[in-house]
Amino acid sequence: MTAQTSAGQWAAYLRNATETRQAVAPITDTFPELSLSEALAIQQLGIDHRVARGERVTGGKLGLTSRAKQVAMGIAEPIIGWLTDAMLLPTDQPLSVKEHIHPRVEPEIVFVLERDLSGPGVSLIDALAATSVCCGLEVIDSRYAEFRFKLADVIADNASASRYCLGPLMRPSSRDDLSLIGCMLEVDGEIVSSASGAAVLGHPGEAVAMLANHLARDGRRLEAGSTVLSGGLVNAVPLAPGRHVTASFGRLGSVTITAVE
């Protein structure tokens, strides 16, 4: 980065936005040359800070894996971020909107590693053999005003990660199950969108393979017990106080988040 800017400074900039619940301008507004490797360094410092204050990394998230999300956010490339235990929203616990900047929620198919998965060369079949699956809702809360960002900005911001909520864990019976499984998103009882699992990378299990292969580049692996969010199947909806958002996934069941002030 330049003499005037450092990854540490930008990590603090984003952390401050989270803590004060005040959106900030994209980093690329002031530093257009921000590279993807610099963005990853900022993201890593954000996670390191969370770990230093006692949080535990619980897995990873893929973002922008469906056409609906890529079109909505104007970025045609999947991204990776990290989850911690502090981000897990227990089932039945309402989401406090005032603890966020401008939270939105999106339905996702979620995988949980039953054993370690090491790349490179992890295939969809390998990914499915190593995982259980559940439905989930991800709450994203970009630290950038109006969710306006470029690819490097959103990577630095840990892919807008904020909270995640999981349905009951299941063992998938065949790969077709997950690409053909239906997803219906309801806000206050009204259906706002629907999709099938194939909306995510053709098969949401590809997200697990992608993450394992990404980790392999640094000699790391996806560890047993890790959670992997495969990405929103449809565009996210804003969470306002009093709103009930339910994602239903056929055989995978359903999960609801209720927003309170």
Residues at the site binding ligand OOG, with contacts judged by CB under 6 A? 61, 63-64, 69, 73, 106, 138, 140, 142, 147, 154, 159-160, 231-232
- H helix runs in 105-204, sequence order: 124-129, 151-156, 175-180
Residue 83 structure tokens: 């989850």
What is the residue type of 190? Answer: E
Which residue is at the shortest CB distance from Mg ion? 138
Cα 107 from Cα 136, distance rounded (Å): 6
Q: Which helix (H) or strand (E) holds 259?
A: strand 254-260
Q: Which is nearer to ligand OOG, 6 or 187 (CB)?
A: 187
160 vs 227, which CB is nearer to ligand OOG?
160
Distance CA 200, CA 66 (A): 5
150 binds, options Mg ion, ligand OOG, none, Cβ within 5 to 8 A by partner type: none
* CA gap 190, 103 in Å, rounded: 19
Contacted by 160, from ligand OOG, Mg ion, none: CB < 5 to 8 Å by type:
ligand OOG
Binding partner at 142 among Mg ion, ligand OOG, none, C-beta below 5 to 8 Å by kind: ligand OOG
When CB distances are held under 5 to 8 angstroms depending on the partner's kind, the choice from ligand OOG, Mg ion, none that residue 159 binds is ligand OOG
The Cα–Cα gap between 214 and 219 comes to 9
**By CB under 5 A, how many residues form the interface with Mg ion?**
2
Please list, residue by residue across 96-123, b when 16 or more beta carbons sit within 10 angstroms of its beta carbon and e when fewer do: ebeebbbbbbbbbbbbbbeeebbbeebe
Q: Quick one: what does residue 147 bind among Mg ion, ligand OOG, none, with the CB cut-off 5 to 8 Å set by partner type?
A: ligand OOG
Shorter beta-carbon distance to ligand OOG: residue 117 or 156: 156
Kindly state the smallest distance separating residue 81's Cβ from ligand OOG, in Å. 7
Cα–Cα distance between 143 and 154 in angstroms, integer?
9
Between residues 140 and 156, which has the closer beta carbon with respect to ligand OOG?
A: 140
209-248 residues in contact with Mg ion (CB under 5 A) are 232
Angle ∠(110,86,195) on CA atoms, nearest 5 = 25
Residue ranges in 135-154 that form contacts with Mg ion under rule CB under 5 A: 138
Residue 138 or 157 having the CB closest to Mg ion: 138
Task: Name the residue whose CB lies closest to ligand OOG.
Answer: 63
In the complex with Mg ion, which residue's Cβ is closer, 39 or 109?
A: 109
User: Residue 154's binding partner, choosing from Mg ion, ligand OOG, none, with beta-carbon cut-off 5 to 8 A by kind?
Assistant: ligand OOG
User: CB under 8 Å to 230, separation ≥6 — which residues?
Assistant: 62, 65, 108, 109, 110, 111, 200, 201, 204, 205, 206, 207, 208
The contact set with Mg ion (CB under 5 A) reads: 138, 232
